[in-house]
Structure formats: structure tokens, C-alpha cells
Structure 1
Amino acid sequence: MHITNIIIAGLGGQGVITASDMLADAAFRAGFDVKKSELHGMSQRGGSVTSDVRFGDKILSPMVPFGEADVLLVLEETQVELNRPCLRNGGVLLTPDCIAPGVLKNKKSLNVAMLGCLSVVLDIPKAHWLDAVHAHLAEKLHRLNDEAFAVGRHATTS
């Protein structure tokens, strides 16, 4: 029974929780059992925020066991070393360096661009990702975030 463990980390206001909601939604749409948890810390004041997302055939706990994250997706460089011990040996680290400076039309869409990077690593159809993004954002933001998602996918494949 394969379980995929992902940790998303960043600072309050960066959309860590929204990104983890979208990831969980995309995995659910793909037919996986999904569990998620989050740790807000001092997030309202720009402090650390992490969210664990686990999916597979059957998930019993929402928490990624320490040192067993398959993917660590970080939205803020200062959070890389703080969370690196959560990543398993051979796991994938995705950081904002994946996205070239100035490419995003709105820097608030970094979380969705990073999900685009993640989508290349995971076996979840692109349509499920976009449906999940649309389900969690206002319609007026769909085009901007579709473009951000595409930037992330392109950045990871090039």
C-alpha cells in the first residue's frame, strides 16, 4: 500500500493552507484517500506555517512521520533549512527558485505556481489540479492562476 507524504511550508499570508487544500482536493479528485493537517504557529504575524498532506489507498493519520516526506514544497527560502529534516532521503525539495523572478504576473500566485511544479512530480492528472485550483479561488482569479500553474509546470520540466 503506497502512501505519498507531502509537507508544504512557508510564512503566514503566503497561501500555504490554500495550497494544501488544493493539493488535497486534487488527490481526492484522482480517487485517493486523503488526510491533511496544518500547523499555524504565529502565522497571522508572518510566522512559520506548515501543512501535511498524505494520500494513498488508505490513510489513517494526517501527520507525515518525521523524516518521511516524499516532497517538501517550500514557499519561503527561510523555511527550507527549518523543514529539511522532515524530508526523507531521496525526497524531492521544491523551492521558490524553481520560478524565475518576474515571471509571475502577481506574486500572490506563487503558491499555485509551486503546485504547478509539484504536479509534475505527482501522478495526479492536470485536469484534477486545475479543477481543484478553480474550486478554491474566486472565478475572477482563475485565468491568473491557470497561468501561474502553467509557469510552475514549465519550470519543472525545463
Structure 2
Amino acid sequence: MTKVTNVVIAGLGGQGVLKASDILADAAFRAGFDVKKSELHGMSQRGGSVSSDVRFGTRVLSPMVPPGEADVLLVLEATQIEINRPTLRDGGILIGPDVLAEGALKNKKSLNVALLGAASTVLDIPEDEWFAAMYANLAEKLHKINEQAFALGRAAALERSQAD
């Protein structure tokens, strides 16, 4: 049996949930994993709930994370935490917007990348693959601000884990 890492990314339409899942899936693929991804758009165009499942490992058969089996639940909007909590396995890791200090981000649109930075501390993907995936999935004019957001999220998560 091969280990598959299950990640659910959730938030509201317009927050970059799908872009975050694209970056994660790309980074995992670049790191040599088999990757499957699934999206649930809901009412994304109206700010409704949006979620995306990303699964990666040696061999992945299904794109859907079974209920209660997410290793990581990354949530961009606090109101979506309880809605999506049932996807998280016992002992799984919840990463929410509270990982960052209020006002820490220069651009709120980079929250998705900042939380990927936080997730990078617990996912087995080399940092250079994260950056390659970001560059491939974001316009060049957004690279610098998102590099900063990723580093901020990563530092905040490492600081929090050392405090625990």
C-alpha cells in the first residue's frame, strides 16, 4: 500500500481556492508524485463555498478525498472551517487564515499563497518546487508579492509549531 497525501483547500469564490489547488498539484507533480485533483465550484461566482481536493503520492487512483481522510485542511475563509472540518482525519492539520497576524499581508489576494507557504511546512514537497509551480501558475507581475506571501505564511507556521 502506498501512502497518499490528501489535502482539501476550501474558501469562498474569488479567494483563489482553485489557483491554490493548481499550485499545490503542480508542485507535487514537479516533486515526482502522481497527482489527482478535483474541484467543487458551488456558487463561486457569487462568493459561495468552493473547495478543491488534491491527492498525491506514489500512485493515486481517485481525485476525491474521502470524508474524514484529509491530512491537511487549508481554509481561506474562517466561516468555511466548520463546514469543511468533517473532511479532516483525526490528527490531521487545519491551516486557517488565523495563521497570519492581522494585517501581515501586503495584498489580501495573496492569502491563498501565504497559506500554501504554511502548508509547505508539513507537506513533503521541496521549496524550489513550490516556487517553480507558483511561477508557472501566476502572472510574472505577481511573482514578487507572492514570494513574500509564501515566505510569510511559511515563517508564521514554523513559528507557531515551535511555540506549541
- TM bucket (normalised to shorter chain) is over 0.9
1:60-87: CA deviation from partner (whole Å, max 9, x where unpaired): 1000011100000000000000000110
Alignment of structure 1 residues 64-79 onto 2, 5 Å: 64-79=65-80
Q: CA deviation at 1:128?
A: 0.2
Aligned counterpart, 2:158: 157
Unaligned runs of 5+ in 1: none
Aligned counterpart, 2:16: 15
Question: TM-score, normalising length from structure 2?
Answer: 0.96
Aligned counterpart, 1:125: 126
Q: CA deviation at 1:9?
A: 0.2
One-letter amino acid matched to 1:132: A
Q: CA deviation at 1:29?
A: 0.4
Question: TM-score, normalising length from structure 1?
Answer: 0.99
Aligned counterpart, 2:162: none
Task: Name the SS for the 2:59 alignment partner.
Answer: coil
Q: CA separation in 2, counterparts of 1:103 and 1:131?
A: 24
Aligned counterpart, 2:117: 116
Q: CA separation in 2, counterparts of 1:123 and 1:4?
A: 9
Q: CA separation in 2, counterparts of 1:137 and 1:52?
A: 20
Task: Name the SS for the 1:49 alignment partner.
Answer: strand
Q: CA separation in 2, counterparts of 1:134 and 1:120?
A: 19
Task: Name the SS for the 2:120 alignment partner.
Answer: helix
Q: CA separation in 1, counterparts of 2:10 and 2:140?
A: 26
One-letter amino acid matched to 1:122: L
Q: What is the percentage of aligned positions where both structures have the same residue?
A: 71
Aligned counterpart, 1:32: 33
One-letter amino acid matched to 1:5: N
Q: CA separation in 2, counterparts of 1:74 and 1:18?
A: 13
Aligned counterpart, 1:139: 140
Runs of 4+ deviating beyond 4 Å: none
1:20-50: CA deviation from partner (whole Å, max 9, x where unpaired): 0000000000000000000000110000000
Unaligned runs of 5+ in 2: 160-164
One-letter amino acid matched to 1:116: G
Task: Name the SS for the 2:56 alignment partner.
Answer: strand
Q: CA deviation at 1:101?
A: 1.1
Give the aligned CA root-mean-square deviation in angstroms.
0.4
Alignment of structure 1 residues 36-47 onto 2, 5 Å: 36-47=37-48
Task: Name the SS for the 2:84 alignment partner.
Answer: helix
Q: CA separation in 2, counterparts of 1:65 and 1:104?
A: 33
Q: CA separation in 2, counterparts of 1:140 and 1:79?
A: 30
